[in-house]
Structure formats: C-alpha cells, structure tokens
A and B are shown apart, each in its own frame.
Chain A
Amino acid sequence: MVQLEPNFTLVLKHLASCGAVIPAEQQAALDHSLPIKRIEAGLKTLVLWGRITALNGKDYLIAEGFNTATSKDGLATYETKYFYSQDGARWSDLQPVDPDTAVRCARIKGQLSGDAAKNYELTEKDPNAPEPVEGEEQEKEPEPLVFQISELSVLRYRVDSITAATSVIPTDSTIVNAASQVVPNRLFAGCAYPEKLEAYQHRTAAPGSGATLAQDLRGTWCVHYDSFKGVAQVRSLLWPGYFFYYAANELTWGALYVGDGNRNNDLIFML
C-alpha cells in the first residue's frame, strides 16, 4: 500500500529525533482543526507543513493544502494554499506576495516577532528622485521611500522560499495521469537505494524527468540512513530545519520544517 498523503503522526514519530516536534497541546488540536479547515477551504489535502519560530514564543504553524497539480513543460505545478495558526486551533489564510514585496521581504532576516499585525519598515532610495550632481550644493537629500512590509508577507515569502528549495518526495512516487495531472503513483515500489540522494526528488520536477536531489548543489543535503530499520532521514543544510523521512518497509514518507525560515548563507564555510 502506497501512501496518498503524509501521515502526521508518522512524520512526528520519525522526525522527533531531529528535534522537529510540536507542543503536545497543538499536536492534539491539529487532529481536529486540520480536517475542519480542509473542508472549509475546499481542498483535497491539507497537511502540516511546519513551524516557523517567533520571538514572542507564539510560533507560526503552517499548513499547506492543494487540490490539483499539473505537469507542464517539465515542471509539476502544485496549486497550493497556505494557512497559519499560532495555537493549532484557529487557521487563517496566508496570502501570496507579489514579486516586488518578495524582494523586500528577503531583506528581513532573523526570527519573526510573532505578532501577526506587525509591520517592518524598510527604506529604499527613491528611483524617481533627481540624481545628485557632483559639486553642486544639495538643498535637501531626496527622501528615501519607506515601505511597510507586513509580518505575514515575510512569513509567506519564507514559506515559499523553503518550499521551492525543498518539498522532497521519493523519486517516481508521483505520476502524470491522462489529464496531465500529477497524482500519487499507486504502483510505487519504493526506492532501490534510500541512502543515495538519487532516491529523492523535488516535487516540482516533472515525473520521469530524472531530476533528483543529486543534481542539487553538493553539500546542501545530508542523508542518515538506518539500513536495519529501513528509515532514511534527509536533512537540508542550506535550509536548516527542513527534515524529510522515508520508511522503506512501510512505504511512507513525509517532511516537516521547524526553524526560523532563514537560509543558511554561510554553508560554504561550514562544511
């Protein structure tokens, strides 16, 4: 039997040893609040994506859901919706960000504050202001533009960045059906070599394209494979906090992100 969607209990069980844990109260609440939210949002699947830590202790739980995934031009596109919750019970929409805001969100580093209504102030040089000419006196400096970036935009930007760089699934665990939709491969036989990075791929790679994690930059992934129990743990070193597990004997897999959402830009000095 091949899984159709990750099982939350198994994900927590296999990734607890990586420190990817959820408070007991929230774990109990998710059993009830996720199915309710899935129906409210009209989604086929809704799973816990991960947890982004916050400075005031009210971490953001992120849930990811989608209805269909289509394959086009060698890429599998998942029409995902994201929701956030700070208590595991009440879920709110996490709206997508436009490209300009995304560029500004990238400038905000460190942990988020945990106050969903907070705005970060970023200043930028005004591109329309007249250029200062050398030698002439300045009457006044051109006013820099001030942008108010909401914390939820930064949160959505971080979730999008991590998803684009990770979202690991076992290679060939999805397949394209007659309607060009990417669906779970019900005849998936398991990975032949779970200790190798070739056994895993990004879900955005079209099935059958042959693009696996082995083609990612070397040193960004590490695999811990227990050959006796048949469980592999794949950890991202570029996005520390992203963990993926694959259990060969039960043919289940799943992932969780627990971290502050920042990329590890010092990776080259750390290996």
Chain B
Amino acid sequence: MAADIGQALAYLRKCKTTKGNSVYDELALALAKVLEDRPVNAVEALETAVLSTPPAASLTVPLVPATSAAAAAKAVATAALFGEPAEVLDPESGEPIEPDAPNDFECEDVEGDGNLFDALGVGLGRPEMQAAMLAVKKLGEDAKRGVATVRFFGKFFGTQADYYVFETTLKDNPDMPEAPEGTVPYEPYGEGVNAYIYFVSNTLGGPLTQLPYVTPDQLKASRLLHRFLTGRLDAPVSAYPAFPGKEAEYLRTLIARISSATVCCPVGFFLADEDSAELSPNDEWEPLKGREMGLPVNWAHRYPHIKDQGRTVTYKRDPPDEEEEPEKNFWTAEEMEEGPAPLSPLDQDNPLALRDGDPVPPPAWSPLHASASVTTRNQVAGVRSNRWPGAVCACAGRHFASLYVGWGLKAVNFTPAPPPPPAAQWAEPLLESNELPPKPAPPEEDEDE
C-alpha cells in the first residue's frame, strides 16, 4: 500500500501540466489556496483553480504551419475588428483592465458609403467596406493616435501587397521642418496638399503606418513617373527620373494628386470665401433628385487644385528690391500660374486627349447610375473619373462619398522621360583652341646664364 502511494506521488510529480508545473505542485497549490481562504463554495473554488485554464489575454493566432503564420496573423487582425472587444484580465488581480477611454473623433457613414458604391458597381463590395468601416472606427477610437476626423480614402493595389489608406486630421499636428534655403517652401500641416495626414496598412485591421508630409519636389517628380506599387513602403521607386524618396513618399504623392483631382462634393454644398478660399457649409443647399447627380456639372472639386509648382497656392519669390516694382519676367511661368477657382464644377475639367477614330475627345468624368431604368426611385447616382481610373463619387440625397480603388495610375499617354543631356566633359576651354588668350612671351633670359 505504501509503495503504491509512493509510486502514485512520484507519477504526479513527474507529469507536467500545460503551465509547466507538475500535477503534484498544482494540486498542492490549489489545496493550499482553499485551506487558506476557506471560501464558502470550496468545491467550486477548487474546481476552477485546478481545472480551468486562464482566459486568453488576446486572440491567439491559431496553430498553423510556419509558412502560413503571417497570413493567419493578418486574418486574426482583421477578425479582431469585429465583435465586442474581449475583456483583458489583469493577471495579478483577476480584475478586468479598464480600456482607455475611446478617442472622440468624427467620421462619415462608411458602411452606408459602401452601400452607395455597391449600388453603382464600384468600390470594394459590401463585406470589405464593412471591415473598412470598423478599421476607421478602430483608428478613430485609438487614444494614442489622437485623430480628430477619419475618412476611408480607398485602396491601392500593389504587385506584392495592397494598401488601405485612411485620411485623417490629427488633434496635434507633428512638427514639419523648413524647406531648404532657396527652394519652394513646403505647405504646412492643415493647408493645401498637407491638409490631411494619411495612414496606410496592408490589411484592414493590420498595423498602420503614418505617411510623411509631401513636398513640391516630390510632386513634380511623381508626375514624371508611371509605376506599379509593390506594397512595401520601403521599396525603391525610380532611378531615372530620380524620385526623392521611397515608396512611402511616392504613395503619398499619388494620394495628394488623386485626392486633389477626384474628391468631390455636390455643387453648392460648400461656399468658398472670396479671398481666403476657405470653405464653409451652405445652409441653403438642397439635394438634387433622381439621376441628376450623375451629371458631372452637379459635382464640384472639394480639395484645392495642385499647381505645376507642387503647391496648391503658388509661392512667388520676393523680388530683390522690395520697394520698386519687380522687372518684367522676374517671376517664372510656374509662379504666375492661376489655376481654376476653388469648388469648380467637374464639367470644366479638361477632357482627355483626342484619340484615333473619334473626333470628340473623351470627357474627364463619366456618369454612373444604379438602375438601368430612368424612373426607378431612390436611385444612387454618381460620377467616375476617366483621368484617374478607379476614382468615384456617389450620391443619394444628402449622403455622398468619394472613394479611390485602383493601381495609382493616371490614364495618360505615358512617355518616359528622355535620358538627360550628356554632361559637358570639360568645363574650361580646350587646351588647343583659338579662343584661348595668347601665350605670354617667355621671360627674357639673363645674359649671365
């Protein structure tokens, strides 16, 4: 009998539990706890202490082969967007940890936007827009980011991975360094091309990266390029013409160009102040009915136009003499560019280039309607851009939205930049040339030498 007990105890000491202790130690701890606390429901306390496993602090990645671990983690991250957030228990006290108070932010009805786009046959389909809505919510509620407004900008496709882009304004803008001396100054945060701060992730629910501010040089270089994105923010972009930055900066320039060219609002929804071009909501705006919002003339550009210089407001250098009038032709053509008025309607956009076989150039925008029949009620109507394929605007009554889903390519007859002119080999005149000054006469020789 004693030997059996001894063998049994030895066996219990040998077996390991999932936590790493032996079964003997676990039982001893549980009994000690019960004897110490003497709870009223001792049996239940003993059962929960011994038999239950601690609740998972967070969704654990399912056990998958190593090759699919990354993909599984992405699926878990997207799944974590849905449902009530799980209570996280403090391991020491057993009490649930209070989550940080959600950040106060504003956003549009992303899921409703998804329904508008689904009716028109554009965008990403309703399930993905649901996930995008929850990703917007997650970004907005994140207390550490401190965003004031969030909008789902859209999706860029890449050869290895895709980008989901969120357009935000932060409560506290980060610092922006000054542009180098003698170059065109950057537009500060909150103005022009840097009015919004963009976050990107490769999957909805995945880790977000904040994109940097955009500079005029980057915008000018981006206009010369016509490239696929790869999906990695640190990928090199172009050796020639040289792009000042990696894919993160290139993506940021694409976002700037696309948002300036294609994000629209119904005409009359905003009023532009004459001098400062600030937009204010128009209280007297009434939504148009039916298929009217399919006409480009009923939409207006929401964001300011980017000039050739790479800014929304051209920067003119100070003339050398402050008091006198600057001489003619002091300012370059770039600095004199006027550009269209704010909130210009879409029918004023330049049409695309003329093509073979058709005397009429393609318009910049095409209408979109939800129903083939004109008389269907409560139709969603919208426009899609022909210059930036993938950019769409949809409207149903007071509810309107813009979205971009595409490769980040402009529909343009792309001509690659020609190679640079060959560098001059020799800056000074050649050794044997008629233009050189005459050789000086040799010094007279002394008779003594």
For A258, the closest partner residue in chain B by CB is: B121
B119 CB contacts on chain A under 8 angstroms:
23-25
In the complex, are the beta carbons of B366 and A19 less than 8 A apart? no
B90 at the A interface (CB under 8 A) = no
**B356 contacts A108, C-beta separation under 8 Å:** yes
Q: A120-B357, A229-B75, A260-B389 are in contact. Are A25 and B228 (CB under 8 A)?
A: no
Residue of A nearest to B390 (CB): A19
Whether the Cβ atoms of B372 and A88 lie closer than 8 Å is yes
Residue contact B368 to A228, C-beta cutoff 8 Å: no
- B124, B228, B405: the one contacting A270 at CB < 8 Å is B228
Contact of A111 among B75, B124, B362 (CB under 8 A): B362
- Chain A residues numbered 86-145 whose CB sits less than 8 Å from any CB in chain B: 86-89, 107-111, 113, 120-122
Does A197 make an interface contact (CB < 8 A)? no
A110 partner, pick from B226, B294, B352, beta carbons under 8 A:
B352
Within 8 A of A (CB), among B177-218: none
B377 contacts partner chain A, Cβ-Cβ < 8 Å: no
Task: Determine whether the beta carbon of A111 is less than 8 Å from that of B125.
Answer: no
Cβ contact within 8 Å between A17 and B370: no
Q: Do A237 and B118 touch (CB < 8 A)?
A: no
Taking the nearest CB of chain B, how far is it from the CB of A98, in angstroms? 18
List CB contacts (< 8 Å) of B131-151 with chain A. Answer: none
Which of chain A's residues have a CB closer than 8 A to the CB of B368? 57
Nearest A-chain residue to B294, judged by Cβ = A57
Could you tell me if B389 and A227 are in contact, using CB atoms closer than 8 angstroms? Answer: no
- Interface check B155, CB cutoff 8 A: yes
- Residues 237-264 of chain A, each 1 if its beta carbon lies under 8 Å from chain B, else 0: 1001000000000000000000110000
Q: Interface size bucket, A side?
A: 35 or more
Q: Is B128 an interface residue (CB 8 A)?
A: yes
Q: A55-B386, A229-B71, A269-B416 are in contact. Are A16 and B125 (CB under 8 A)?
A: yes
Please, what's the 1-or-0 string for A22-35, where 1 marks a CB less than 8 Å from any CB in chain B?
A: 11111000000000
A229 proximity list for chain B (CB < 8 A): 71, 75
* Main secondary structure on B side of the interface with A: loop
Task: Tell me if B160 is interfacial: C-beta within 8 Å of chain A.
Answer: yes
Q: Which residues of A contact B227 (CB under 8 A)?
A: 269-271
When the two chains form their complex, are residues A237 and B159 in contact, meaning their CB atoms are under 8 A apart?
yes
In the bound complex, residues from chain B placing their C-beta under 8 Å from that of A235 are 157
Contacts of B22 in A (CB 8 A): none
**Chain B CB within 10 Å — which of A51, A237, A266 has the most?**
A266
**Would you call B275 an interface residue if the criterion is a C-beta within 8 Å of the partner chain's C-beta atoms?**
no
| A56 contacts the other chain (CB 8 A) | yes
The smallest C-beta distance from A174 to any residue of chain B, in angstroms, reads 28
Which of B118, B226, B366, B384 is in CB contact (< 8 Å) with A24?
Answer: B118
A5 at interface, CB cutoff 8 A: no
Nearest CB of chain B from residue A57's CB, rounded to whole Å = 4
Selected from A21, A89, A110, the residue in CB contact (under 8 A) with B118 is A21
Answer yes or no: A226 CB below 8 A from chain B CBs: yes
Q: Which A residues are CB-close (under 8 A) to B162?
A: 17, 224
Q: Is A69 an interface residue (CB 8 A)?
A: no
Tell yes or no: A149 within 8 A of B by CB.
Answer: yes
For residue B76, which residue of chain A has the nearest CB? A228
Interface check B310, CB cutoff 8 A = no
Residue in B155, B226, B356 with the greatest tally of chain A CB atoms within 10 Å: B356
- Interface residue range, chain B: 35 or more
Contact indicator per residue, chain B 368-398, by CB within 8 Å of chain A (1) or not (0): 1111100000000000101001100000000
CB-nearest residue of chain B to A240: B407
Measured CB to CB, the nearest residue on chain A to B227 is A270
Asked if B64 CB lies within 8 Å of chain A CBs, one says: yes
A17/B128 contact (C-beta < 8 A), A24-B370, A56-B366 known: yes
Chain B contacts for A226, CB-based, 8 A: 71, 74-75
Q: Bound state CA distance, A222 and B409, in angstroms?
A: 17
> Given contacts A17-B124, A57-B367, A227-B67, are A86 and B226 in contact (CB under 8 A)?
no
A229 CA / B71 CA spacing, docked (Å): 8
Is B228 in contact with A26, judged by CB distance below 8 angstroms?
A: no
A47 within 8 A of B: no
Is B320 at the interface (CB under 8 A from chain A)? no
The CA of A222 and the CA of B226, in the complex, are separated in Å by 18
Once bound together, how far apart are the Cα atoms of A170 and B355, in whole Å?
Answer: 38
Distance, CA A235 to CA B162, complexed state (A): 12
Most chain A Cβ neighbours within 10 Å, of B71, B122, B155: B71
Decide if A24 touches B121 in the complex (CB within 8 Å): yes
Chain A nearest CB from B202 CB (Å) reads 11
Collect the chain B residues with CB atoms within 8 Å of residue A55's CB. Answer: 362-363, 366, 386
B420 at the interface (CB under 8 A from A): no
1/0 contact string of A6-44 vs chain B (CB within 8 Å): 000000110011110111111000000000000000000
Which residues of B sit under 8 angstroms from A120, Cβ to Cβ?
356-358
Write out the residue numbers on chain B whose beta carbons fall within 8 Å of the beta carbon of A149.
357
Compute how far the CA of A65 lies from the CA of B124 in the bound complex, rounded to whole angstroms.
27
Least CB distance from A225 to B in Å reads 8
Q: How would residues 160 to 178 of chain B score, 1 for a CB under 8 Å from any chain A CB and 0 otherwise?
A: 1110000000000000000
Q: Does the CB pair A19–B356 fall under 8 Å?
A: no
- Establish whether residues A108 and B355, one from each chain, have CB atoms under 8 Å apart when the complex forms: yes
A-chain residues with CB within 8 Å of residue B390 when the two chains form the complex: 19
Please name all residues of chain A whose beta carbon is closer than 8 Å to the beta carbon of B363 when the two chains form the complex: 55
Per CB-CB distance, the 3 closest pairs between chain A and chain B, nearest first, are A16-B125, A23-B121, A120-B357
Beyond the given pairs A240-B409, A270-B227, 9 more chain A to chain B contacts, judged by CB atoms under 8 angstroms and listed by A's residue number, are: A17-B124, A19-B157, A23-B118, A54-B366, A86-B372, A108-B357, A111-B362, A111-B366, A266-B416
A binding-site residues for B, Cβ under 8 Å: 12-13, 16-19, 21-26, 51, 53-57, 59, 86-89, 107-111, 113, 120-122, 149, 222, 224, 226-229, 235, 237, 240, 259-260, 266, 269-271
**Contacts from B to A (Cβ < 8 Å):** 64, 67-68, 71-72, 74-75, 118-125, 127-128, 155, 157, 159-162, 226-228, 294, 352, 355-359, 362-363, 366-372, 384, 386, 389-390, 405-407, 409, 411, 414, 416
